[in-house]
Structure formats: C-alpha cells, structure tokens
Structure 1
Amino acid sequence: MAQELQHMAVSAFCENMAMLLNAGIGPEEGTALLSDTGVESEFHDAADAVHKYLEENGGTLADACEASGYFPAYACRMLATGEMTGRTEQVLKGLARYYAGQARLNKQVRSAVTYPAVLLFIMAVILAVLLAQVLPVFSRVYATMAGGTAAAGYRYLQVGYVVGGVALVITAIIAAVLVAALVQSRTAEGRMKLESRAERVPVLGEVVRKRALARYTWVLDLYLASGMPAEDSLRAAAEVVTCGQLKKAAQACADAVAAGKPLEEAVLEQQLFEPLYARMLVTGAKSGTMEQVVTRLSELFSDDAAEATDRLTGLVEPVLSGLLTVAVGVTLVAAMLPLVGMLGAIG
C-alpha cells in the first residue's frame, strides 16, 4: 500500500493543480505534467498514480487521489465536495494553505519536543557520570584520608548522591515521556491523542487550544470555500477539534446555526472566538466578504498558535538549563564540602 504523503508534499500537489486548472489544463494532463519531473520521489509517484487512474478509469480528481492511497482522506473528501459544487480550484488553493500551515505547526511541535529531549539526555549523561565516576572517587579519597566516610562531616557526600540520584531519575522519566511523545507525533492519530492529553497540563493547555482553534478555522475556511452550507461546514469543522472546551463551543455554534441563527451571531454568542475576531465576522457578513474574513482569521489564529509554541519553547530552555545547573552544582558542592572541612581542620 502507498505511503501517505507528507503535509508539505500534499500542499505542493494541491497548489500546482490549482495553478494548472486556472491555466485551463485538465486534471489528466495536469497530473501528467506533475509526474514528468525526472526525479524519483514520493511526490512523483503520487502524481503518476493519480494520472494513471484518470487515464485508465476516468472519473474525478478526488476519486483518483483517493484510489492512489497517497493522499489524506480529509483532502480527498474536501476535493470531492469542491468538484460537486464547482469550486475545485478554490478548494485546491485552500488545501494547499491548510497543509502548509499544518506542516509548519507540526514542525514547531517536533522542535519543541526534540530540543528538551536532547537537553535532558545531556543532563542524564552528566549526572550519571557524576554518580558513577566522580563521587565514588571522592568517597575513596575521603575514606583513605579519614579512615571512613561515616562521620557527620561526610554526610554531605550522601546528600550529593541523593540529589544527583533524584535529579537523574526525574530527568530520565521526563526524557522518556518526551521521546514517546515524539514517536507518537509522527502520525495524525497520535498527534490528536497527544493534544487531548496535553490539554490537561496547565502550561500546555493554552498552546493546545490555540493550535486547535487554528485547525478549526482552517477547516471551516475550506468547507465554506467548497460551497457547503454554514451549518454543515460548522459541524464538519467541529469534528477535527480535540480540545474539549473548544469542541463544545463549536458544536453549540453549529446547533445555533441549524436553529436559524446567522453564523456570525452564533460565534459571538458561544464565545467561539475572542470578541474582536467575532466582530470581524459580523463586519464580513454585512459587507458580503464572510469567506475572506474566515480565511484571514485562519491565518491570524495559525500565526498566534505558532507564536505560542515559540514562547513555550523559549521558556523550556532556561528552565531546563537552570535545573541542570542546580543539580550538578549541588552534587559537586556536596562532594567538595568534606574536603573543605578537612583542610580547615588541618589549617
């Protein structure tokens, strides 16, 4: 079975197809041009598979993408909707923006997880060397000089062992959690589960909610651009939300629109967006530019989520560096204090 394309590859395919359609080139000829790159890659294989399906079976571009196995099910559904409503080009452009944005956010999350994991690994190695090599040397030296290390003056050495050991255990546990999270984040389902768990963590909750809001508005923008009614668009967008509080508000907003309330009023009433952004929808509804406003909001929320992720990453570095400094410093000081006491007694 074909391996699903990475988000940036999906974005590139959709953007190129949108440009080809805009130039009056049909899907079959367009996919032939995309597959004729002369470079073997997953993108080439995907375009070639889509072209062969269209050439042999006909049908729609959405059918060919789904049959190829290279494209996410969500992208195929959106493309099918766009073809049904006559907005294929708009949907392809929206999909290109959506998957480019998702690729950027996912890359930031991986970086935010990878860097602390590496730093924690370094901490673990340093602490392990201190406990296994450095402190035993001090212990043997003190035993030789004073005949034993059980005296009260040498209890500091035991403090060093305790502090270093506890720090090593904590470091190893956190590093293991981060590595497991990094592995799980490689799949879409895994990322969804991670976000659901991270929502309960106070420091991570805000970042998770902003990412969920960005993804929600991206999807809402796509569905509205495909020509789907507002009610159906809201319900479909709510399905991709993993953040519990946001999901309830999104579903309540969809129910309000189904009951006859305008989209902008439902969003404002359910506090789905901050008042400033909700007012933008009201302005868009009055000026007839609702789709453009939703597109702009999706870009703003995506940037906000990226900034929140960067802030979190920037906070992690000094905290971990501080913990490393304290743990190593206390361990070394505890090892040196008995020696200071001995030198003081000699003097």
Structure 2
Amino acid sequence: MAQFKYEGRDRSGRKKSGTIAANSRREAVLKLREKGIRPIVIAQVPSSVWNKEISIGRAVKLQHFVVFLRQFATLVRAGVTIVDSIHILAEQTESKALARALDDMEQHLREGNPLSAAAAKHPRIFPPLFVNMVRAGEASGTLDETLDRLADHFEKVHRTRQKIVSALAYPVAVAIIAVAVVIFLLVSVVPTFVDMFADFHAELPAITKFVLKASAFMQHYWWMITLLAIGVFLLFTALRRQKRTKYYLDYAAMRLPIFGTLVQKAALARVTRTLSSLVSSSVPILEALSISERVVENEVIASVLDEARTALERGQSLAEPLRRHWAFPPLVAQMITIGEQTGSLDAMLGKVADFYEAEVDAGTDRLKSLIEPLMIVLLAGVVGTIVTSIIVPMYDIFNHIQQ
C-alpha cells in the first residue's frame, strides 16, 4: 500500500493531519471520510528507503499491545461496537505500526469481515495466539472476556521477559564498560610508556610484554577486530534464523551452568501460559499445541510440543512425551496428567505457569545478587592487571635511577 499525507477537518471543524495507507488516492479519500475527516489537501508520499519506518524485533512494543487489549475489552464491555472501538483505539495508540494496522482492520470490518479475519491480515502485529483466541471469543460471544484474558497473558509474558532482561542488563553493561576501558588503556595510555621503557632498556616482566604486544596489535589491527566482531554478530543472527541451528543454540542456552535453569523456566512459563490461555478460550487442544510451537521461541520446547501433538493424534496422553524429555520437569507432566483426568487442563496449566513465573522472579533476583560482585571483581581484575603491568617496570626504572 502507498502512503498518503493529508490535511483536513473533522466533523467538529478541528484541523486534522497525518498519513494514511491506501491503494489509491480515491481509496484514501474514502477512508478519511469514513473516519469523519474531510480532506482539503491529500498527496502521495514518495516511496524511498529514507521514509520507510525500520522496525527491529516486534513491530509493536508489548506494553503498547497490552494497553490496547485492556482498552479494547473495556470499550466492548461498555457496549461500543467493534468498528467504533477499533476507530477510537487507532486514534489514541502510541504505536504508529499498530495505528496503521487498526486503520486497515477498520476498513475490513466495515466490509463485513470478522475481527479475527481482519487481524489475521497483520501477522507481524497480531500473533496466532490473538487471532485464534479472538475467533473463539467471537464464536462464544465472550469477546470482552477473551480480550481481558489476552491482556493478562501478554502482561505476564512481558513481566517475565522484563525480569530476565533486567537480570542480564547489569552484566552486559559491565562487560561493555570493561571492554571500553581496556581498549582505551591499550590504545591511549599504554603506548605513552613504550618509548620510556625502550630508552631505559629495562628488563620487562612477562605480563608487561604481553600488554605491550596487545597494545601494538590493537593499534595496527583494530579494523580486523571490528570486522571480526561484526562477522560474529551477523553469523550468530543468521544461525538463529535457521531452525536446525537454533535448536542447538537453544539447547546450549538451557544447559548453561548458571543461566540455563533460568532460560528453561522462562520457556516453560511461556508455553504453559500460552496453552492455558488457548484451552480456556475453547481453542481445540491440537490447534493450541500448534500455536504454542510457533510462539514459544525455543526450538527444544517446540520439538517436544510437536511430539505431544503427534501423540494426541494417535489417541495417547499429552503428558507422556513431556514426561520423557529432560526439558520438562516431572511437575509439569504430573499437573497435566491431573488436568487431563479431571477435565481442568487449563487450570492446571495456569498453576504451572504461575509457579514458573514465580521461579523466574526469584531466580533473577538471586542471579543479580550473585553476578554483581563477580562482574565488579572481573572489571577490577582486568583493569588492575593492565595498570600493574605498567607500574611494576616503572618502579624498577625508578630504583635503577636512584642507584
């Protein structure tokens, strides 16, 4: 779709301006009139790489999506029509990508399409979980409850993700500072002492020789180190996009000594929360497993879910493939077995998700208290080693001069 820039007035006479996506100028005018805007000036925005919005990762921030769901549920519960609710939310959301998607959805809704079908046309904005739960809510007439349930789901997912990010933020920040300090010392400070050591023909300790060689290498081959770092980053990004290599990367992450348990618990919290939300919305279990495979973002867990789906298709228990795999602790399989036997699978999955979300909270707090002193000691050790390698020969030179 092309982008059209417009200026006009709404029904109350207030000035309105902005951009709207449409296939033609005529379509843009019709869309604006449906929004209650009388366009005065409308022109197509030239297509170029400079005016395209670049998004990395999710097209819409999770917190904006949660706010949208909460407000949507409130409007529907208050008796506002779905079309009017979408129109209102498109005008007040902070996310430009979400606003554009809602504008397009409003058009499809006015053409008689259901909300789930309109949302399915924007997979980067609305994940399969949203589309399928909304479809179930439309069929059962409980769309407001479904939207509230979706908001709860994404809110808890966001909280768990933020906990992990906050736990990793400190060590990453300290590591970046340590690298920056080391580069500064090797490039700017250490070279000022090289000529002095050479003039006095001092016998340098092994650590000083190593630091001087590292400084010389950094000065002459900094471009090689930069290219290597960029190459490693691009290679890692490419490998993450390959399903097979991502499986091994996820496997390695879950087997790490300290972080592995946290990664595993976070993945289990996400998959059980997703399954619980889908099953409680009356989405068929096979479809719920298929959706969970796509949204779990962990290929190890996804492969087990695929086995579980195959087992269910054969008439076997959902819990059995999970019980055989190391990634799923016995608690998960036992709770699912109870849920299957009592017909309360969604409730049991919700309890498991609550448990692992609490475990992630406690684990991140413990991790931060453990890592903070370790990173400080590491930073002090690295910087101290470089400084010591310079100070020790200077003392020897000073003593030689005194003698």
- TM-score, length basis structure 1: 0.74
Q: CA–CA distance in 2 between the matches of 1:330 and 1:310?
A: 31
Choose between structure 1 and 2: higher helix proportion: 1
Aligned match of 2:251: 199
Aligned match of 1:11: 66
Choose between structure 1 and 2: higher strand proportion: 2
**TM-aligned CA distance change 1:79 to 1:208, over 3 Å:** same
The partner residue of 2:211 within 160, 175, 178 is 160
Q: Could you say what the CA RMSD is over the residues aligned between the two structures, in angstroms?
A: 4.2
Post-superposition shift, 1:275?
A: 3.0
- Matched-pair contact (CA < 8 Å) for 2:243–2:299: no
SS in 2 for 1:236: helix
Aligned match of 1:59: 113
Post-superposition shift, 1:92?
A: 2.1
Aligned match of 2:179: 124
Aligned match of 2:159: 104
Aligned match of 1:80: 135
Structure 1 segment 175-324 matched on structure 2, within 5 A? 176=229, 180=233, 197-201=249-253, 202-203=256-257, 204-263=259-318, 268=323, 273-285=328-340, 288-309=343-364, 311-312=366-367, 314-324=369-379
**TM-aligned CA distance change 1:165 to 1:89, over 3 Å:** farther
Q: CA–CA distance in 1 between the matches of 2:387 and 2:365?
A: 34
Instruction: Please tell me the residue identity of whatever aligns with 1:289.
Output: S
**TM-aligned CA distance change 1:340 to 1:121, over 3 Å:** same
- Matched-pair contact (CA < 8 Å) for 1:192–1:242: no
Structure scoring higher RCO (CA < 8 A, sep ≥ 6) equals: 1
Q: CA–CA distance in 2 between the matches of 1:116 and 1:196?
A: 24
Post-superposition shift, 1:134?
A: 2.8
Segments of structure 1 that go 5 or more residues without pairing to the other structure are: none
- Matched-pair contact (CA < 8 Å) for 2:60–2:95: no
Instruction: Please tell me the residue identity of whatever aligns with 1:64.
Output: A
**TM-aligned CA distance change 1:209 to 1:192, over 3 Å:** farther
Post-superposition shift, 1:221?
A: 1.6
**TM-aligned CA distance change 1:46 to 1:236, over 3 Å:** closer
Post-superposition shift, 1:224?
A: 0.6
Q: CA–CA distance in 2 between the matches of 1:280 and 1:253?
A: 15
Post-superposition shift, 1:84?
A: 3.7
Q: CA–CA distance in 1 between the matches of 2:194 and 2:131?
A: 67
Instruction: Please tell me the residue identity of whatever aligns with 2:117.
Output: D
Post-superposition shift, 1:332?
A: 1.6
Post-superposition shift, 1:108?
A: 4.3
Bigger shift: 238-247 or 119-128? 238-247
**TM-aligned CA distance change 1:343 to 1:40, over 3 Å:** closer
Instruction: Please tell me the residue identity of whatever aligns with 1:238.
Output: E
- Matched-pair contact (CA < 8 Å) for 2:276–2:345: no
Segments of structure 2 that go 5 or more residues without pairing to the other structure are: 2-20, 22-54
Post-superposition shift, 1:127?
A: 1.8
Q: CA–CA distance in 2 between the matches of 1:191 and 1:324?
A: 36
- TM-score, length basis structure 2: 0.66
Q: CA–CA distance in 2 between the matches of 1:127 and 1:76?
A: 50
**TM-aligned CA distance change 1:118 to 1:272, over 3 Å:** closer
Post-superposition shift, 1:209?
A: 2.4
Instruction: Please tell me the residue identity of whatever aligns with 2:285.
Output: A
Q: CA–CA distance in 2 between the matches of 1:282 and 1:17?
A: 35
- Matched-pair contact (CA < 8 Å) for 1:156–1:335: no
Aligned length: 335
